[in-house]
RNA sequence: GGCUGAAUGGCAGAGUGGUUAUGCAGCGGCCUGCAAAGCCGUGUACGUCGGUUCGAUUCCGUCUUCAGCCUCCA
């Protein structure tokens, strides 16, 4: 029985979809004006695992992850770069897809873009005006009147009167309440704009998610996810917009993932303390980054550092080493269901990936024990490890190809093989001095040799 | 100021009202020509002060510290 922590109720609840066997899920994706950093990677990986697990459980999942391709930051960046705005967003959407593919993220079923939804956004703004939740300001902006929405604050647990509006940013005088937010923004001359009943303009930040999610998944759907920082105001505002416009409940379960931190501080663009995914992948295999993300439960903060990534690499090496050389494709999965049951119990508990990973390590130990005397058993267990790994999006490549992967330019595989052949000859002649010399030469190049009864295997450190 | 959440062994990170998380690192052993990998064994960890309890790291309260939201941010 799957339990999910729901931000709305602040507790774990047994998950029950609106329509039996079907799950509709919407996740706030990226605003495309820069490369993805590790924090974005976390959102993608976390919800990728959520969707993989839901599918594993047999649900028919419709997964929507949006792209916000019009907003203040994008406009500003285009001006800075002297770049056409569409060219800018196209460039970063392509980069986003590349990063996602590297991280073995299954593409969402629908990836709607804000600029393709202007008509539907305008309709929703009009509905909000008609329903009395919005007003046109003296600047010709359309604003949402939060005081009209009785439940405002229900997601983030905030009391409107307790908030320090204007503490850090000047309040726009044209607003009726300092926390009212823009639905439709009147355009300046040189900005991208679309025609609307309120003059030419563009959507405010929150409305596009309400319009896209409702259109793709219906007025009322199962799960809505995103980073912690979107809880307020973004998701709070989405609720106000969608429920104000449709007069129906919006979302059943709200899921929010924790931040990636650096030196105990949130990784963010504004602090400038971020690493982009592509930077990290210059140093580490993408699966190492994915594994690192899954070593923390998704709601907990996660601390990013080279040491952590090194540790992740070591751990993943252990799992792949267990899989190495096993003929898993040609043997059935093990009959022993205890590992799968433990794995599932962990995942059923609000996607507890660290505990699920612990099961994979126990399974690996079992494989390593079996491989010396019962290769068939080892391979069957290996098959199981591979299948469970798949739910986490891990362990799907050939073990050799992970263990021997070149990230930074190093000695070639052919050269290594040659030296190993040379060393095997020396060993045959019991010329240990030569054998050891070759081994330590390779060690200096970060190549580790492992002798066994069949010959010598190697891997890169 | 309001609201969230967190404090676990050398590091990372789960979990539990009484019994082994897991990974890395360390130590001892087996294996090995020697290694590496693997296997076996090995650590009086649960921020503070109180309370509840036969018993609390686990429940309740106090305090301390840290992080996040209340501007844009995943």
ipTM given for this complex: 0.94
Cα A230 to its chain centre, rounded Å, is 15
Number of Cβ within a 10 Å radius of residue A10? 8
φ/ψ region of A250 (left if φ > 0, alpha if ψ in -120 to 50, else beta) reads alpha
pLDDT score at A171:
62
Residue by residue, pLDDT tens for chain A (461 residues) are: 999 999 999 999 999 999 999 999 999 999 999 999 999 999 999 999 999 999 999 999 999 999 999 998 999 999 999 999 999 999 999 999 999 999 999 999 999 999 999 999 999 999 999 999 999 999 899 999 999 999 999 999 888 877 766 565 566 778 888 899 999 999 887 888 999 999 999 999 999 999 999 999 999 999 999 999 999 999 999 999 999 999 999 999 999 999 999 988 999 888 889 999 999 999 999 999 999 999 999 999 999 999 999 999 999 999 999 999 998 888 888 778 899 999 999 999 999 999 999 999 999 999 999 998 899 999 999 999 999 999 999 999 999 999 999 887 778 999 999 999 999 999 999 999 999 999 999 999 999 999 988 889 999 99
Q: How far is the CA of A263 from the C1' of B29 (A)?
A: 40
Cα A265 to its chain centre, rounded Å, is 19
Q: Are A284 and A311 in contact (CB under 8 A)?
A: no
Distance CA A407, CA A114 (A): 36
Q: How far is the CA of A354 from the C1' of B54 (A)?
A: 35
Nearest amino-acid residue to B35, taking CA and C1': A450
Q: How far is the CA of A51 from the C1' of B9 (A)?
A: 35
Distance CA A164, CA A171 (A): 11
- Beta pairing partners, A266: A261
Which nucleotide across the nucleic acid strands is nearest to A179, CA versus C1'? B70
Closest by Cα among A288, A268, A271, A291 to A280? A288
Number of Cβ within a 10 Å radius of residue A327? 13
Cα A31 to its chain centre, rounded Å, is 14
Q: How far is the CA of A48 from the C1' of B32 (A)?
A: 43
Distance CA A196, CA A208 (A): 15
Number of Cβ within a 10 Å radius of residue A39? 24
DSSP assignment of A224-292:
EEEEGGGIIIIIHHHHHHHHHHH-S--EEEEEEEPPEEETTEE--TTTT---BHHHHHTTS-HHHHHHH
Nearest amino-acid residue to B12, taking CA and C1': A308
Which nucleotide across the nucleic acid strands is nearest to A357, CA versus C1'? B22
- Beta pairing partners, A6: A11
* Cβ neighbours for A288, distance < 8 A, ≥ 6 positions apart: A309, A312, A313, A316
Order across the sheet with A221-227: list the strands: A60-68, A22-31, A221-227, A251-257
**Does A409 sit behind a cis peptide bond, omega within 30 degrees of 0 on the bond before it?**
no
pLDDT score at A167:
60
Cα-based angle A85, A86, A91 (whole degrees, multiple of 5)? 100
Q: How far is the CA of A369 from the C1' of B38 (A)?
A: 8
The sign of the dihedral angle between the CA atoms of A275, A281, A284, A285 is positive
DSSP assignment of A9-43:
TTEEEE---SSTTEEEEEEEEEESSS--BHHHHHH
Which nucleotide across the nucleic acid strands is nearest to A443, CA versus C1'? B36
Which nucleotide across the nucleic acid strands is nearest to A181, CA versus C1'? B71
Which nucleotide across the nucleic acid strands is nearest to A310, CA versus C1'? B24
Which nucleotide across the nucleic acid strands is nearest to A162, CA versus C1'? B2
Distance CA A452, CA A420 (A): 13
Those nucleotides of strand B lying less than 7 Å from any protein Cβ are 1-6, 11-15, 21-25, 32-40, 66-74
Q: How far is the CA of A356 from the C1' of B58 (A)?
A: 21
Q: How far is the CA of A237 from the C1' of B71 (A)?
A: 15
Helix (H) or strand (E) holding A380: helix A375-392
Which nucleotide across the nucleic acid strands is nearest to A359, CA versus C1'? B22
Q: Are A70 and A212 in contact (CB under 8 A)?
A: no
Cα-based angle A402, A365, A308 (whole degrees, multiple of 5)? 50
Q: How far is the CA of A71 from the C1' of B45 (A)?
A: 49
Q: How far is the CA of A403 from the C1' of B36 (A)?
A: 14
Angle between helices A413-428 and A432-444 (to 10 degrees): 160
């Amino acid at each position: 029985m799957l339990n999910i922590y729901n931000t709305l109720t602040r507790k774990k609840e047994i998950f029950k979809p609106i329509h039996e066997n079907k799950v509709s899920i919407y996740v706030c994706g990226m605003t495309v004006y820069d490369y993805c950093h590790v924090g974005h990677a976390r959102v993608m990986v976390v919800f990728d695992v959520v969707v993989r697990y839901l599918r594993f459980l047999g649900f028919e999942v419709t997964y929507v992850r949006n792209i916000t391709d019009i907003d203040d930051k994008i406009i500003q960046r285009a001006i800075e770069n002297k770049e056409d705005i569409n060219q800018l967003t196209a460039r970063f959407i392509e980069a986003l897809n590349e990063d996602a593919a590297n991280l073995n993220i299954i593409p969402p079923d629908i990836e709607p873009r804000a600029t393709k939804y202007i008509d539907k956004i305008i309709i929703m703004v009009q509905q909000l005006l008609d329903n009395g939740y919005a007003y046109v300001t003296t600047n010709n902006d359309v604003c949402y009147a939060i005081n009209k929405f009785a439940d405002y604050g229900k997601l983030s647990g905030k009391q409107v009167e307790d908030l320090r509006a204007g503490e850090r940013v000047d309040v726009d005088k044209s607003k009726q309440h300092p926390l009212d937010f823009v639905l439709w923004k009147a355009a300046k001359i040189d900005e991208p704009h679309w025609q609307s009943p309120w003059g030419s303009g563009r959507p405010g930040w929150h409305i596009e998610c309400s319009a896209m999610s409702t259109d793709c998944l219906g007025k009322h759907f199962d799960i809505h996810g995103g980073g912690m920082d979107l809880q307020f105001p973004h998701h709070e505002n989405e609720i106000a917009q969608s429920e104000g416009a449709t007069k129906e409940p919006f979302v059943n379960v709200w899921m929010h993932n924790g931040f990636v931190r650096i030196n105990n501080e949130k990784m963010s663009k504004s602090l400038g303390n971020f690493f982009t995914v592509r930077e990290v992948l210059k140093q580490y295999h993408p699966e190492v980054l994915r594994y690192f993300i899954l070593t923390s439960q998704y709601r907990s903060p996660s601390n990013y550092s080279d040491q952590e990534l090194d540790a992740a690499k070591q751990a993943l090496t252990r799992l792949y080493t267990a899989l190495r050389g096993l003929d898993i494709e040609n043997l059935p999965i093990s009959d022993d269901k205890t590992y799968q049951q433990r794995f599932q119990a962990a995942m059923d508990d609000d996607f507890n990936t660290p505990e699920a990973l612990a099961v994979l390590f126990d399974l690996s130990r079992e494989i390593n024990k079996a491989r010396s005397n019962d290769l068939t058993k080892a391979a069957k267990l290996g098959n199981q490890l591979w299948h469970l790994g798949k739910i986490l999006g891990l362990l799907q490549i050939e073990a050799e190809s992970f263990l021997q992967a070149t990230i930074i330019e190093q000695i070639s595989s052919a050269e290594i093989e040659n030296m190993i052949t040379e060393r095997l000859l020396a060993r045959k002649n019991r010329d240990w001095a030569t054998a050891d010399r070759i081994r330590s030469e390779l060690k200096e190049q970060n190549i580790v040799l492992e002798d066994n009864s069949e010959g010598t295997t190697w891997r890169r450190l």
